[in-house]
Chains A and B, each alone.
Chain A
Amino acid sequence: MSLLSIKGLQVGFGGVRVLHGIDIDVAAGALVAIVGANGAGKTTLLRALSRLLPLQAGSITYDGRDLGGVAPHHVTRMGLVHVPQGRQIIPTLSVEDNLLIGAGSLPGLSRAEIDARLAGEFERFPVLRDRRKIPGGSLSGGEQQMLAVSRALMMRPRVLMLDEPSLGLAPQIITGIFSALRALAASGVTVLLVEQVAFAALKIADHGYVLQNGRIVMSGPPADLLQDPALISRYLG
């Protein structure tokens, strides 16, 4: 039974159709990678899932619930948390405030529980503890990515969706982020990883999809995809 089920999704804006009928199934606890080149529609897909974009056709079912008419902030509160492309750290808020702001929207969390979660994130990424009072805008790209992931994790998501976390980061940092995601999936969080760097993303995934020009063109176990020569031509023509 998949936790997140997308059927026949069609999304467009500004008179342009970007997604032409997407079918994706994400099982609970899995790490699913969706890879594709620029312009394939990856960001549009995640924004549609978060309900920031209207659906022109198709459906999104999360935990048995249809997300069609749900407002974006409710989608987040339901546990489907989206880490946007480019991190989108609030530059004027401190690292600590950035971490707290997501969790703060969740109703019914005690101060103690929030503090416990905060401590947990500082464990996961100690550099954030070192820089906790520093404005988010002053962090490096890698630090901001860690902060963005932690910020999302503060909300204890059931499904964590990430849009190109590797963007603009040096290879070693990417390695670190990806290991953290692998560990996360192992601990039971469902991860939907949307990426351009296909090789690295597929390597840590349980299942892979390749998106091209708004359509799923390849789907299957990562090992199969990685060995398929068609993968490269999907990117480079």
Chain B
Amino acid sequence: MKTADLVQLLISGIAMGSIYTLMGKGLLITFLTTRALNFGQGDFLMIASFLSMTLLLAGTPVVVAVVVVLAVLVVLGVGLERLAIRPLANMTAGSASSLAWILTTMGFGMLLQNTAQLVWGKSRFYSPPLFADEQKKVVELMGARFYLEELIVALVAMVVVGVLYWFLFRARWGKEVAAVSFDKGTASLLGIDVRRVVATSYAIMAVLAAVSGILAGPLTTVQAHMGLLFILKGFAVVCIGGFVNPVGILIAGIGFGIVEAMSNYVDSAFGDLYPFIIALLFLIVRPSGLFGEFKADVR
């Protein structure tokens, strides 16, 4: 493989990997505050991709489109918490109570999938590029060639990751999340409005899914059932990265993306399965992930 191709593959891998990172972070955020994940987060991404695509094709300026998509998804995120997560906390222990949120968030996601199917149909769509004027615009830099779109996607995703990092570790909200994640009662005793923190975390998850969807649309095809792959990869990434550390998720995400790009190059028939298998093996060997702490499940 020529170096030029290698660089291009790397950029490709980093671009998609950074999107997986964003997905992983979305899963992490809600896990911190509610010990639950949005199993339909991939479907959130899908809605964002479709909305963004439709608005852009209709000629809406990018900034406006982004704002609209973010707004819609935040509503969905807050709605999900209200509808599929909060009511479960009050229910007495049933047979599946500790796993009920998996089923409710999955159900919510299915509603989104059907909506997309009805509005846009079941075919695959091509979303216009956000940053380059044409889909496959190639840039040459120091002898290496790569797609401009992918490069900028990677950069934008990194910026979002950075912003999230700032939110979590510097801003007040992040400290509140740490308190709520530690113990909700204690957080209340510190004057923290736990409900508000929880709702905000779901809104942030939705924002991350929205950004992922907006960025991912042009890089892949948009389809009503595209969400499954993204949730699987997002989850693989957050498991490998460890359920506590955003830096770990970043490393895991980029790594996953690069492995995926390489595997597809090497084996175009089954290459997309390799990263999953590697992730599965990794998890069997080291269930706590790269940086996580495995807490013994003593009930």
Residues of A within 8 A of B (CB): 47, 50, 52, 71-73, 76-77, 81-82, 84, 88, 90-93, 97, 100-102, 104-106, 151, 155
When distances are taken between beta carbons in the complex, the residues of chain B under 8 Å from A97 are: 175
Whether the Cβ atoms of A76 and B191 lie closer than 8 Å is yes
Whether the Cβ atoms of B182 and A102 lie closer than 8 Å is no
Which of A72, A93, A100, A151 lies in contact with B188, CB distance below 8 A? A72
Q: Is B121 an interface residue (CB 8 A)?
A: no
Query: When chains A and B are docked, how far (Å) is the Cα of A77 from the Cα of B179?
Result: 17
Whether the Cβ atoms of B190 and A102 lie closer than 8 Å is yes
When distances are taken between beta carbons in the complex, the residues of chain B under 8 Å from A92 are: 178, 182
Query: When chains A and B are docked, how far (Å) is the Cα of A106 from the Cα of B172?
Result: 13
Can you give 5 A-B contacts (C-beta < 8 A)?
A72-B189, A82-B189, A88-B189, A93-B175, A100-B175
Whether the Cβ atoms of A84 and B185 lie closer than 8 Å is yes
Q: Is B192 an interface residue (CB 8 A)?
A: yes
Whether the Cβ atoms of B190 and A91 lie closer than 8 Å is no
Whether the Cβ atoms of A101 and B176 lie closer than 8 Å is yes
Consensus secondary structure, chain B interface: helix
Which of A71, A76, A91, A101 lies in contact with B175, CB distance below 8 A? A101
Report B65 CB to chain A, min CB distance, Å: 35
When distances are taken between beta carbons in the complex, the residues of chain B under 8 Å from A73 are: 188, 190-194
When distances are taken between beta carbons in the complex, the residues of chain A under 8 Å from B185 are: 47, 52, 72, 84
Whether the Cβ atoms of A155 and B189 lie closer than 8 Å is no
Which of B176, B179, B189, B193 lies in contact with A84, CB distance below 8 A? B189
Whether the Cβ atoms of B190 and A101 lie closer than 8 Å is yes
Query: When chains A and B are docked, how far (Å) is the Cα of A84 from the Cα of B183?
Result: 12
Whether the Cβ atoms of A84 and B191 lie closer than 8 Å is no
When distances are taken between beta carbons in the complex, the residues of chain B under 8 Å from A155 are: 191
When distances are taken between beta carbons in the complex, the residues of chain B under 8 Å from A71 are: 188, 193
Closest A residue, CB atoms, query B182: A90
Query: When chains A and B are docked, how far (Å) is the Cα of A91 from the Cα of B176?
Result: 13
Query: When chains A and B are docked, how far (Å) is the Cα of A174 from the Cα of B130?
Result: 63
Instruction: Give the total of B residues in contact with A, Cβ under 8 Å.
Output: 16
Whether the Cβ atoms of A76 and B190 lie closer than 8 Å is yes
Whether the Cβ atoms of B186 and A84 lie closer than 8 Å is yes
Query: When chains A and B are docked, how far (Å) is the Cα of A88 from the Cα of B186?
Result: 7
When distances are taken between beta carbons in the complex, the residues of chain A under 8 Å from B188 are: 50, 52, 71-73, 76
Whether the Cβ atoms of B182 and A76 lie closer than 8 Å is no
Whether the Cβ atoms of A93 and B190 lie closer than 8 Å is no
Query: When chains A and B are docked, how far (Å) is the Cα of A97 from the Cα of B171?
Result: 11
Question: Can you name 9 extra interface pairs (CB under 8 A) apart from A105-B193, A106-B191?
Answer: A52-B188, A71-B188, A73-B188, A76-B189, A81-B189, A88-B183, A90-B179, A91-B182, A105-B192
When distances are taken between beta carbons in the complex, the residues of chain B under 8 Å from A84 are: 185-186, 189
When distances are taken between beta carbons in the complex, the residues of chain B under 8 Å from A91 are: 182
Whether the Cβ atoms of B189 and A50 lie closer than 8 Å is yes
Report A99 CB to chain B, min CB distance, Å: 11
Closest A residue, CB atoms, query B244: A92
When distances are taken between beta carbons in the complex, the residues of chain B under 8 Å from A93 are: 175, 178-179
Report A164 CB to chain B, min CB distance, Å: 15
Which of A50, A71, A73, A104 has the most C-beta atoms of chain B within 10 angstroms of its own C-beta?
A: A73
Query: When chains A and B are docked, how far (Å) is the Cα of A88 from the Cα of B172?
Result: 19
Whether the Cβ atoms of A105 and B191 lie closer than 8 Å is yes
Query: When chains A and B are docked, how far (Å) is the Cα of A76 from the Cα of B193?
Result: 11
Query: When chains A and B are docked, how far (Å) is the Cα of A91 from the Cα of B175?
Result: 11
Report B102 CB to chain A, min CB distance, Å: 26
Whether the Cβ atoms of B178 and A90 lie closer than 8 Å is yes
Query: When chains A and B are docked, how far (Å) is the Cα of A50 from the Cα of B179?
Result: 17
Report B239 CB to chain A, min CB distance, Å: 20
Whether the Cβ atoms of A104 and B172 lie closer than 8 Å is yes
| Given A93-B175, A97-B175, CB of A105 within 8 Å of CB of B190 | yes
When distances are taken between beta carbons in the complex, the residues of chain A under 8 Å from B190 are: 73, 76, 101-102, 105, 151
Shortest 5 CB-CB contacts between residues of A and residues of B: A105-B191, A72-B188, A76-B191, A88-B186, A102-B190
Query: When chains A and B are docked, how far (Å) is the Cα of A37 from the Cα of B190?
Result: 27
Closest B residue, CB atoms, query A47: B185
When distances are taken between beta carbons in the complex, the residues of chain B under 8 Å from A102 are: 190-191
When distances are taken between beta carbons in the complex, the residues of chain B under 8 Å from A101 are: 175-176, 179, 190, 192
Report B280 CB to chain A, min CB distance, Å: 29
When distances are taken between beta carbons in the complex, the residues of chain A under 8 Å from B189 are: 50, 52, 72, 76, 81-82, 84, 88
Query: When chains A and B are docked, how far (Å) is the Cα of A72 from the Cα of B193?
Result: 9
Closest A residue, CB atoms, query B193: A73
Query: When chains A and B are docked, how far (Å) is the Cα of A106 from the Cα of B125?
Result: 50
Query: When chains A and B are docked, how far (Å) is the Cα of A91 from the Cα of B183?
Result: 11
Q: Contact string, B90-112, partner A, CB cutoff 8 A, digits 1/0?
A: 00000000000000000000000
Report A115 CB to chain B, min CB distance, Å: 15
Closest A residue, CB atoms, query B188: A72
Report B167 CB to chain A, min CB distance, Å: 14
Which of A76, A100, A106, A155 has the most C-beta atoms of chain B within 10 angstroms of its own C-beta?
A: A76
